[in-house]
Structure 1
Amino acid sequence: MKRSETVADTAITLLAERGMRGLTHRAVDEAAGLPPGSTSNLARTRAALLELTLSRLTDLEVQALAPVYRLQGANAAADPFLESDLPELVAEALHVQLGDSRRTLARYELALEATRRPELREIYDKAGRRFRDPVVGLLAALGSPDPARHGRQLVAFGEGIMFDAIAGAGAVPSRDDLREAVRDLLRGMLGSGT
């Protein structure tokens, strides 16, 4: 593992465990078992550390969502399983995200910080497009009459499920519950038997 990944992974864990105030260069060095000054050598400023962490977090979450993104560009007419597979794949992706709530908690911390730091907001928004754009493409392939709006809604739905399970008053839903919830949502969007 590269040192930058070690630093970023440790920063993700610290954000989840201690919040934004607990994320310091020194804390990352100590938690990662790195020599003092290693983190500041890699990410000189706090802003650089936050950017490095957000970049790594985005990469990890894109990896977790890879099965859903593999459907991007598929042709619903040519692939009759596309529509029926999507609820299962989205449910699996949500299940994986809920299984590692550390990443989601860290992302919430970074999202709140991005509301106060325009330079981080720009990076955060760009990262968000990496998640929304493929969903819009998938929904277009499935015949959504408004894929951009439906894509935003599907992503917001997933975010709401995660927030409710991790930070809200809800319980962590089962994979079956997630699949049925996604199927219901898509049925409403697409007007089909999803």
Structure 2
Amino acid sequence: MATRREQLLDSAITVLGERGIHALSHRAVDTQAGLPAGSTSNHFRTRDALLDAVVERFAAREQALWNELAMSMYPTTPLDLARVLVAAARTATGPQRTLMLARYAILVEAGIHPAVRAQLLATGARVNAWFMTRLRAAGSSDPERDAPIIMNHWTGVVLHDLAIPDPAFDPTDQITTLVTTVIRPLSAEVPS
């Protein structure tokens, strides 16, 4: 069961994902959470403190989603990893649409506010380390090169469908082609 703090942060994520960054206020979060006025400000004195905590909560929820997918479909080949990324894209544009829209609202805010940018870099480093591990397990010989190529493309594919929803959204071909082309498996050493 979520704590009161987590309930408030999840409500803040909903406000961000459904109404955008300008709608994020203590009052809007209180209303979304169905709690008395002042509940959010008791936990987060300023809007900046609220936004900082939202970034942490968002990162934790996003990483939990990735972990759940990866553990249920443990990727050990590029094709396996592509399947995880396709499933993640479908989840991001479907049942977790609001969470992902909040993610993009936070990314835009980071472009304007250095403090948010610094926090995203810190939380992003944890997600990147996690993804590098998945890349290695899938056979990447150069995860530092492969990770930004694959994840930046994935981010764009998801953003495009969030902005212009397509009822027939199916990123399978493009994600599979990208991942299986980009990942260069470790080659077996040739005896001399």
Residue 150 (structure 1) shift: 0.8
Is 1:41 aligned to 2:35, yes or no? Answer: no
Post-superposition Cα deviations, 1:43-64, rounded to whole Å, max 9, x if no partner, equal 1111110011111111111111
Alpha-carbon distance between aligned partners in 1 of 2:127 and 2:3, rounded to the nearest angstrom: 25
1:94 maps to a residue whose letter is: A
State which of 147, 152, 173 in structure 2 corresponds to 1:156.
152
Shifted more, 177-186 versus 147-156: the winner is 177-186
Match of 1:183 among 150, 160, 176: 176
Quote the offset at 1:9 in angstroms: 1.0
2:31 matches 1:30: yes
Contact persistence 1:132–1:155 (CA under 8 A)? no
CA distance in 2, matches of 1:152, 1:173: 27
CA deviations on 1:43-94 (whole Å, 9 max, x unpaired) are: 11111100111111111111111145549xx8xxxxxx71142222221112
Q: Deviations over 1:4-52 (max 9, x none)?
A: 1111111111112221111111111122121221101101111110011
Aligned length: 181
Offset, 1:108: 1.1
What are the residue-to-residue correspondences of 1:97-176 with 2, within 5 Å?
Answer: 97-99=92-94, 100-167=96-163, 169=164, 171=166, 174=169
For residue 89 of structure 2, the aligned residue among 64, 87, 94 is 94
1:191: how far off? 5.2
Letter in 1 for 2:123: A
TM-score scaled to structure 2, two decimals? Answer: 0.84
Instruction: Give identity over the alignment, percent.
Output: 32
Query: Which ranges of structure 1 fall in alignment gaps of 5 or more residues?
Result: 75-80
Distance 1:173 1:184, change over 3 A: farther
Cα offset for 1:131?
Answer: 2.3
Map of 1:35-74 to 2, 5 A cutoff?
35-67=36-68, 69-70=70-71
Matches of 1:134 and 1:172 in 2, distance apart? 31
Give the gaps of 5 or more residues in structure 2.
186-192
